Structure 1
């Protein structure tokens, strides 16, 4: 393997690229921010400014669209897609259309395998133990579009696809307690958390690549499920923040995401508690 292309060098994609480079593999990485091009270069990443819209891909450095995408995929056998749907607020973009527009460029390239970063939001709210055998039933627009996008990629016979569904993303610089501290009437106090630390996200991706585990679907959540009230209260105390207050009037949902498949098939051991 000579090169991997990462579409989306953001909170996860950038440190992932660095971890791949540390293993002696070259990385083409994309960003939508002109200012971040220098950051990618400094990290040893071959930078590309790529912004995928519904009907066009805006490319960098004045190249034609086809030449830019050809360069981004050049000599890469693996593409990692790490661009989440942006459907909050009044944003009504079609994430499905974005990926559908991208697929013909993948088909014409040297890419043989695609790793699609998805989310456990495809399962919606439920009170059962979730495994990869559980049928997705999203109740959010982003979750519904992720389900359709997963199907588009998995059904394409021009390349092999593995779908990796992450739970809530947590890291040293990222934890929901920063937004919940001091808040009142927070719902679902007894609901178990389904989080995963950035370090484990990277470790699992590297394991999939190392073991050549394609045409698979994995749920990725740390096997650590205290209640929301217990978890956020503890985190607030650790960071000397105002304690959040929870509303116990309504019954909490009890969804737990199982990562047993990752632990058993990839022989992966989670290293970080969220």
Structure 2
């Protein structure tokens, strides 16, 4: 395995390298990838990840990094501010500067993987959505993510867009906090989730599948196996946390949507946490 990793050594750039980027680096470094993470204010390097302090809004600085000619580029941006302009800078401008930098330097990554969101869908009547479903975002963030996806899709580079549903995991404990404080609501609205470890697992799976010469699609919807009504999740968490369920108020929040992950499953990915129960059990332990 070690010898194979040396032979297959590749350079991986993670643009906007936050929590998901760190988790991905931890998976890829043992496979022989040399991983560089870009952040405006990076923390100290780790054994699996070397950071560079770069703001993607600085096109010249971004271009200098891209001149290093990476084999794989993963874009996983978090806006520095809410609102349409913040979303435009994080999602759209980053992709515009990425393409301009690649074209200016002549760099040619074998794969660009763009992290998007199921927020690009606007369905709200309990429908199932998949990669073929129409995208009609009802929020500015979804509109800008969709615009960024289109820049990637039109780039001419080999690419893959992954639309993650609601990400939870260590440090992403809003739902547990709401239940603990008695502020969660019993809504029939479907919720779709994916654990942060599975986010990293999905990206690593697709990157390696592509390196091995096996086909991947240009678009995947990544969510666990079990969309569930919010009321079900809240009641289950309350029982695990020994919180009085009578504290929660009913809420008519619509039906939402249900995310279909069959294309991702068909690619061979196996979820570490196939439903909210396994994922939250691990967190509560």
TM category, shorter: 0.7 to 0.9
Report the counterpart of residue 60 of structure 1 in structure 2: none
Q: Using the TM superposition, give the Cα deviation of residue 148 of structure 1 relative to its aligned residue in structure 2, in angstroms.
A: 0.7
Q: Distance in 1 between matches of 2:112 and 2:192?
A: 25
Unmatched tracts of structure 1, length 5 or more: 58-64
Aligned with residue 105 of structure 1, among 89, 101, 107: 101
Q: Does the CA-based 8 Å contact 1:160-1:215 persist in structure 2?
A: no
Q: Distance in 1 between matches of 2:263 and 2:250?
A: 34
1:221 matched to 2:223? The reply is: yes
Q: Using the TM superposition, give the Cα deviation of residue 173 of structure 1 relative to its aligned residue in structure 2, in angstroms.
A: 3.2
1:78 matched to 2:82? The reply is: no
Q: Secondary structure, in 3 states, of the residue corresponding to 1:223?
A: coil
Aligned with residue 249 of structure 2, among 246, 249, 261: 246
The change in CA–CA distance for 1:185 and 1:93 in structure 2 (over 3 A counts) is: closer
The change in CA–CA distance for 1:124 and 1:175 in structure 2 (over 3 A counts) is: farther
Q: Secondary structure, in 3 states, of the residue corresponding to 1:13?
A: helix
> 1:53-82, CA deviations, whole angstroms, 9 ceiling, x for partnerless residues?
3xx34xxxxxxx35x643455241110001
Report the counterpart of residue 169 of structure 1 in structure 2: 167
Report the counterpart of residue 18 of structure 2 in structure 1: 10
Question: Which stretch shows the higher mean deviation, 94-103 or 118-127?
Answer: 94-103
Q: Does the CA-based 8 Å contact 1:130-1:255 persist in structure 2?
A: yes
Q: Secondary structure, in 3 states, of the residue corresponding to 2:141?
A: helix
The change in CA–CA distance for 1:77 and 1:225 in structure 2 (over 3 A counts) is: same
The change in CA–CA distance for 1:104 and 1:5 in structure 2 (over 3 A counts) is: same
The number of residue pairs the alignment matches comes to 256
Q: Does the CA-based 8 Å contact 2:121-2:137 persist in structure 1?
A: yes
Unmatched tracts of structure 2, length 5 or more: 1-8, 277-285
Q: Distance in 1 between matches of 2:134 and 2:217?
A: 17
1:33 matched to 2:53? The reply is: no
User: Superposed, which structure 2 residues align to 1:91-102 within 5 Å?
Assistant: 92=86, 94=88, 95-102=91-98
Q: Does the CA-based 8 Å contact 1:168-1:196 persist in structure 2?
A: yes
The change in CA–CA distance for 1:73 and 1:28 in structure 2 (over 3 A counts) is: farther
Question: Which stretch shows the higher mean deviation, 236-245 or 172-181?
Answer: 236-245
Report the counterpart of residue 62 of structure 1 in structure 2: none
Alpha-carbon RMSD: 2.4
Report the counterpart of residue 269 of structure 1 in structure 2: 270
Q: Secondary structure, in 3 states, of the residue corresponding to 1:247?
A: strand
The change in CA–CA distance for 1:70 and 1:52 in structure 2 (over 3 A counts) is: closer
Q: Using the TM superposition, give the Cα deviation of residue 227 of structure 1 relative to its aligned residue in structure 2, in angstroms.
A: 1.4
The change in CA–CA distance for 1:139 and 1:16 in structure 2 (over 3 A counts) is: same
Q: Using the TM superposition, give the Cα deviation of residue 238 of structure 1 relative to its aligned residue in structure 2, in angstroms.
A: 2.7
The change in CA–CA distance for 1:71 and 1:151 in structure 2 (over 3 A counts) is: closer
Report the counterpart of residue 189 of structure 2 in structure 1: 191
Question: Which stretch shows the higher mean deviation, 82-91 or 41-50?
Answer: 82-91
Give the 4+ runs in structure 1 shifted more than 6 A. none
